[in-house]
Amino acid sequence: MTHACEMESSMILRLRPELVTPDAARGANIPFDSAFYVPDFSRPSRVDVARTFDQLSETGAFGHPEIATVEKGEALFAVAATEVIAFVREFATWPAVLPRLNSFLGCF
């Protein structure tokens, strides 16, 4: 997921549609040819370089916000909620305090 991409825009369309301007919702990544750095997050970078948004995207969006939909946003929230619930249920079974590893303390 990247800034103002299809997924993020779909989620905002579901929650706060008044914040999305469909006519302006388009990705416009600035091409950057490098074997090491992928500034549009379309694949993993081998290095990370800090850049401002205007150096990476003409619109401030990455990916394709123009194909975002309310239905996709609803589906994404459903999946996220299911995963959070599963984690909280598992977390509730974890021990409150983990046992100390005294053996490592003896090496100092």
Handedness of CA 74, 76, 80, 86 (dihedral sign): positive
The confidence score (pLDDT) of residue 35 equals 93
> Could you tell me if residue 105 is inside a domain?
no
b/e code 36-63 from CB counts within 10 Å (16+ = b):
eebbbeeeeeeeeeeeeeeebbeeebbb
Range of the domain at 37: 6-94
pLDDT of 53 reads 81
> 83 in a domain, yes or no?
yes
- What pLDDT, on the 0 to 100 scale, is given for residue 42? 79
pLDDT of residue 106: 59
pLDDT value of position 41: 77
Q: Would you say residue 107 lies in a domain?
A: no
pLDDT tens digits for range 14-73: 999 999 887 877 877 778 889 999 887 778 899 998 888 888 888 878 888 889 999 999
Is 104 inside a domain boundary?
no
In terms of Cβ atoms closer than 10 Å to its own Cβ (0-12, 13-18, 19+), residue 70 is middle
Query: What CATH number does residue 24 fall under?
Result: 3.40.50.10310
Q: Answer yes or no: is 102 within a domain.
A: no
Q: How far apart are CA 31 and CA 82, in angstroms?
A: 37
pTM summary value? 0.70
Number of domains making up the chain: 1
